[in-house]
Structure 1
Amino acid sequence: MKSVTETPKPRRRAEWVLWIGLGLVSATLLLLLLLAQLLRSQANAAKPLPVLGQVADFTLTNQDGRTVSLADLRGHVWVTDIIFTRCTGPCLRMTGLMRQLQEALPPGNQAKFVTLTTDPEYDTPAVLKTRANQFNADPSRWLFLTGTKKQIAEVAVNSLKLTAVPKEPDKQETPADLFIHSTQFVVVDKQAQMRGFFDTAGEGVDPTKTKSDILNAVRRLEKER
């Protein structure tokens, strides 16, 4: 009967040492990769947000019928978008997100929220007041602004680079399908400089991440002079 040849113990020990060594090398490489990602994230966080343009002076009317100008927003970080109250598309969702931002920042916070209308002939201060109340807007922090078509175009389109275009009647899917407008939120700093554009709708957009990114931008800009 033939005897079974066993692997010498020193050889087995060498194999175990080799595998342990490979494991340690892999773990070290993984830790180095994670450290590099952490350092990159910290570097990006420390890097100032880019200046993307300057908001020009404007004068509009808020939901309480009071005149609001750019001077009223200087010294504050503010978040803005453009909607219209007859909208049956993304507008309610956008206004809901603005409410979440208001709720996420405590009442003592100096940030402001600005909702522009692309339908000023219909969206009078009274109409905007109703919409503001529906979303529990704090009038000292959240402004719903209207004006003439020209005034709205100057601030929304020319300054903030948002889209606000009347829809051709033959392309309107419903009676309320009146405008093509941006679904982006714009974050503006204390010097009325645009510092970030954030998509709130579209393929691949995560509303939770969008909210987090906007809040992060606001908090970073509040630390600037």
Structure 2
Amino acid sequence: MNKLIIVLALFSLWSCGGSSERLPILGERDTVKKMVDGKEVVDTVYHTIPDFKFVNQEGDTVSAQNFNDKIYVADFFFTTCPTICPVMKKQMKKVYEKFKGENEVAILSHTIDPDHDTPAVLKEYAKDLGVSGTQWMFVTGPREKIYEIGEKQYLVVAGADSTAPGGYIHSGAFVLVDKQKRVRGMYNGTDEAGTQRLIADIERLRKEYKDEKQ
């Protein structure tokens, strides 16, 4: 919880600033010592999303390798959600439409109700949203793995809660992840302003990588 508070506080500052050319790298970081040309140097090791294995709406196994060399947006939801999920998916659809067909950009939505949200249910859900193909993946898997990656890796709330509407509680955040699997931004997925900041920051990230190649 302390980690989440720190990240969200930093996120708030960066969101208000928005003046730096490069996006920040969020999450905890460590320093390691290594030898370079016979000299000891200190390098920074950033928090990265570890490997995972889930199943998408097509029934295919999805791992972190599916997102190699991609910028992607992650979020958490469930198909029967009576509160913020419909709004979030309406906003994420705008991201999908903006980058549709762009191989460099992907979306990864994790259900937090795997008992109900089977691959068949997720496929129908995607179809109802007007989503085709697998640029936007809806994934399911063991609930403990989904909750763990949400709270410990993407730094958002995701879990069962009998007191919450629908029986589950989750963050309304869209999480931006870069090609090195580092978290580069968190955005309010329930409003237009947050969605437009996300779209702009995806473009900024794409420019970062383009500039590095030049």
TM range (shorter): 0.7 to 0.9
What's the offset of the Cα at 1:106?
4.2
What's the offset of the Cα at 1:67?
0.5
Say if 2:109 is the partner of 1:115: yes
What's the offset of the Cα at 1:74?
1.7
- Identify the match of residue 57 of structure 2 among 42, 58, 63: 63
Number of residue pairs the alignment of both structures matches: 173
Say if 2:69 is the partner of 1:85: no
Please give the secondary structure, in 1, of the residue aligned with 2:110: strand
Change (3 A) 1:172 1:106: closer
Which structure carries more strand by proportion?
Answer: 2
Say if 2:176 is the partner of 1:187: yes
- Identify the match of residue 51 of structure 1 among 25, 49, 53: 25
Q: Using the alignment, how far apart are the partners of 1:111 and 1:154 within structure 2?
A: 24
- Identify the match of residue 200 of structure 2 among 208, 211, 216: 216
What's the offset of the Cα at 1:109?
4.9
Q: Using the alignment, how far apart are the partners of 1:133 and 1:79 within structure 2?
A: 19
Amino acid in the other structure paired with 1:134: D
What does 1:158-197 correspond to in 2, within 5 Å?
158-168=152-162, 171-172=163-164, 177-197=166-186
Deviations 1:147-171 (A, max 9, x none): 0112212322221111112113xx3
Please say if residues 108 and 139 of structure 2, whose CA atoms lie closer than 8 Å, have aligned partners that are also in contact: yes
Change (3 A) 1:151 1:140: same
What's the offset of the Cα at 1:97?
1.0
The corresponding residue for 1:5 is: none
The corresponding residue for 2:42 is: none
Q: Using the alignment, how far apart are the partners of 1:119 and 1:190 within structure 2?
A: 28
What does 1:15-164 correspond to in 2, within 5 Å?
44-46=19-21, 48-52=22-26, 53-164=47-158
Q: Using the alignment, how far apart are the partners of 2:102 and 2:61 within structure 1?
A: 23
Change (3 A) 1:65 1:160: same
Q: Using the alignment, how far apart are the partners of 2:49 and 2:75 within structure 1?
A: 14
Q: Using the alignment, how far apart are the partners of 1:75 and 1:172 within structure 2?
A: 37
Q: Over aligned residues, Cα RMSD in angstroms?
A: 1.7
User: What is the TM-score when the length of structure 1 is the normalising length?
Assistant: 0.72
Alignment gaps of 5+ in structure 1: 1-40, 202-206
Greater Rg, structure 1 or structure 2? 1
Q: Using the alignment, how far apart are the partners of 2:195 and 2:171 within structure 1?
A: 17
Q: Using the alignment, how far apart are the partners of 2:158 and 2:104 within structure 1?
A: 28
Change (3 A) 1:106 1:142: closer
Q: Using the alignment, how far apart are the partners of 2:193 and 2:64 within structure 1?
A: 29
Please give the secondary structure, in 2, of the residue aligned with 1:150: helix
Please give the secondary structure, in 1, of the residue aligned with 2:144: helix
Please give the secondary structure, in 2, of the residue aligned with 1:44: coil
Q: Using the alignment, how far apart are the partners of 1:172 and 1:197 within structure 2?
A: 23
Please say if residues 91 and 192 of structure 2, whose CA atoms lie closer than 8 Å, have aligned partners that are also in contact: no
What's the offset of the Cα at 1:71?
0.9
